[in-house]
Amino acid sequence: MIATWAQIGYLVAAVCFIVALKGLSSPKTARTGNALGAAGAVLAVVITFIAYKPDNLVAILIALLIGTVGGVVGSRRVQMTHMPQLVALFNGVGGGAAALVALMELGEVHDGETVAAIATAFTILVGAISFSGSIVTFAKLQELMTTRPVTFPGLPVLFVAGLLGGVAVSAWLVSEPRVWVGVLLCLLGLAVGVMLVLPVGGADVPIVISLLNAFTGLTVAAGGYVLGNTLLLVAGTLVGAAGTLLTKLMADAMGRSVFNILFGAVRGGSTLGGGTASERPVISGSAEDVAILLGYAQRVIIVPGYGLAVAQAQHTLRDLVEELQGRGVKVDYAIHPVAGRMPGHMNVLLAEAQVPYEQLREMDEINGDFKSTDVVLVVGANDVVNPAARTTPSAPIYGMPILNADEAQRVIFLKRSMRPGFAGIENELLYDPRTTLLFGDARESLAKLLASVKTV
> Which H or E element spans position 411?
strand 410-415
Where is average pLDDT lowest: 68-77, 92-101, 146-155?
146-155
pLDDT, position 250: 80
Q: What is the CA radius of gyration of the chain?
A: 25
pLDDT, position 150: 83
Higher pLDDT, 101 or 419: 101
- Judge whether 405 and 378 are in contact, CB under 8 Å: yes
Calculate mean pLDDT across residues 231-245. Answer: 90
> Which H or E element spans position 413?
strand 410-415
Model confidence over 12-56: pLDDT tens digits?
999 999 999 898 877 778 889 999 999 999 999 999 888 888 888
Q: Between the CA of residue 120 and those of 217, 221, 417, what are the distances in Å?
A: 14, 11, 52
Task: Concatenate the DSSP letters of all residues of 30-86 into one string.
Answer: HHHHHHHHHHHHHHHHHHHHHHH--SSHHHHHHHHHHHHHHHHHHHHH--GGGHHHH
pLDDT, position 344: 76
- pTM for the full model? 0.79
- What is the rounded average pLDDT for all residues in the chain? 87
Please give the backbone phi and psi of residue 379, each rounded to the nearest 5 degrees, phi first: -110, 100
DSSP state of 281: -
Q: Between the CA of residue 441 and those of 221, 301, 426, 448, what are the distances in Å?
A: 46, 20, 20, 11
β partners of residue 415? 439
Whether the per-residue pLDDT at 161 is higher than 70: the answer is yes
Structural domains in the chain plus CATH codes? 78-267 (no CATH), 287-455 (3.40.50.1220)
Active site residues: 383
- Judge whether 207 and 84 are in contact, CB under 8 Å: no
Model confidence over 374-433: pLDDT tens digits?
999 999 888 889 998 888 887 777 888 899 999 999 999 998 887 776 666 788 899 999
Distance in angstroms (rounded) separating the CA atoms of residues 239 and 94: 11
Distance in angstroms (rounded) separating the CA atoms of residues 75 and 344: 17
Please, what sign has the CA dihedral across residues 232, 236, 238, 239? positive
Q: What angle do CA 278, 341, 294 make, to 5 degrees?
A: 65
Residue 120's pLDDT band (cuts 50, 70, 90): very high
- 62-72 as b/e, with b when 16 or more CB fall inside 10 Å? eeeeeeeeeee
Where is average pLDDT lowest: 72-76, 157-161, 229-233, 268-272?
268-272
pLDDT, position 270: 52
Model confidence over 247-296: pLDDT tens digits?
888 887 777 777 777 776 555 555 554 555 566 788 888 999 999 999 89
What 46-52 contacts at long range (C-beta under 8 Å, 24+ apart), as own/partner pairs, is 47/6, 47/9, 47/10, 47/13, 50/6, 51/2, 51/3, 51/6, 52/2
- Judge whether 75 and 86 are in contact, CB under 8 Å: yes
pLDDT, position 309: 84
Whether the per-residue pLDDT at 306 is higher than 70: the answer is yes
Whether the per-residue pLDDT at 206 is higher than 90: the answer is no
β partners of residue 335? 362
The H-assigned helical ranges of 106-228 are 114-141, 155-175, 179-197, 205-227
